[in-house]
Amino acid sequence: MSCRRSDRTRLVGCRIGDVALRGCSRGCCHYRDEDISENTRVHFMNRIFSRVPPNHNLPGRTGLYFRQCQSSYRPKFICPARGCRRSIKPFYDPSKLEYEISEYQDWSVRPVDTPELIEAKKNEGIMQGYQNRNSDETREFRALQKRYYDDPSALSVEEIETVKSNDPHSWWIRLTTTPRGWADESSNGPARSLRCPSCGDDTVPVGSNFRIPSKADIRSWREVENMIADGKDMVASFSSCATVQQQKEMVDEAARLRRQEHGADEWAAEKQRRIAAVAVAK
């Protein structure tokens, strides 16, 4: 999800390029070399170096809700209800469920090929065949399919079963949706969290560094409740992603190292001149 603290101290992080900021450390994602090149932050590159970071990020954090690292980690949630107070992560069992995880850590699941899902895939292939592609039956189903994706609650049980028996994509169930700092809900939908399996209440997404207090630690839970009540971003608060200030310091350090590298030859010549001058003086 985020660059590790140890990587940041060595000026290594995801999608950061240049002499001191060297792309992905591979410690928290599995980008290929070409992916790293595509995602490198161009405002850190040689010749076009700029101190102005992109303006599409939320205040306080850099990149946290723009393009998160692609990793196999499970997003973390907590249930702050006083009778529960536990952490929750999405269930992961590839032998039973098929997973679709976006680069923003949006999780969708559907069953591994069940007889009903296999039949839906078969029916979709028949419907997309050359002979049936423009038939009246197919057009009617497309209209029903559009209604399903617009508002499934407006369809009857029989209509939903018709969609599911002919559209394998309708079997996907969205578990979580991460908010985007650069887009509104119309483009990606509202943020969605898991429900607590113990009490059924809504959960609160938190960063990967959040450590759940014990149920008896009333003081810590009161602090957590106050943070939630104040609307504090619990993901950003408990994440290792660089803050705006930390990124500025990294940019300044990169500029300093670049100046040091560019002046290395001049300093070496000056050093030799001083050594020679001292030898002559003796």
**Average pLDDT taken over every residue of the chain:** 73
What pLDDT, on a 0 to 100 scale, did the predictor assign at position 247?
A: 73
Tens of pLDDT, residue by residue over 252-278, are 888 888 888 888 888 888 888 888 888
Can you tell me which residue has the tokens 């090929």? Answer: 113
Number of neighbours of residue 9 by Cβ within 10 angstroms: 9
In angstroms, rounded to a whole number, what is the distance separating the alpha carbons of residues 113 and 282?
A: 87
Give the number of other CB atoms < 10 A from CB of residue 216. 8
| Residue 7 pLDDT exceeds 60 | no
Residues 118-138 pLDDT 10s: 999 998 888 877 667 778 888
Task: Pinpoint the alpha helices (H) of the chain.
Answer: 5-9, 33-39, 115-127, 136-150, 157-166, 185-188, 218-229, 234-237, 244-262, 264-281
Least confident of 14-28, 62-76, 148-162, 197-211: 14-28
Instruction: Provide the pLDDT for residue 163.
Output: 92
- Residue 265, pLDDT score: 82
Report pLDDT for 278: 85
pLDDT at residue number 221: 94
More confident residue, 214 or 191: 214
In this structure, what token pair is assigned to residue 15? 């999608």
What share of the chain in percent tops pLDDT 70? 65
- Confidence class of residue 1 from pLDDT cuts 50, 70 and 90? very low
User: Has residue 222 got a pLDDT over 80?
Assistant: yes
CB 209 within 8 A of CB 192: no
What does the pLDDT read at residue 82?
86
CA 66 to chain centre: 8
The DSSP code sequence of 176-190 is EB---SSS-HHHH--
Q: Where are the domains of the chain?
A: 5-52+243-281, 76-237
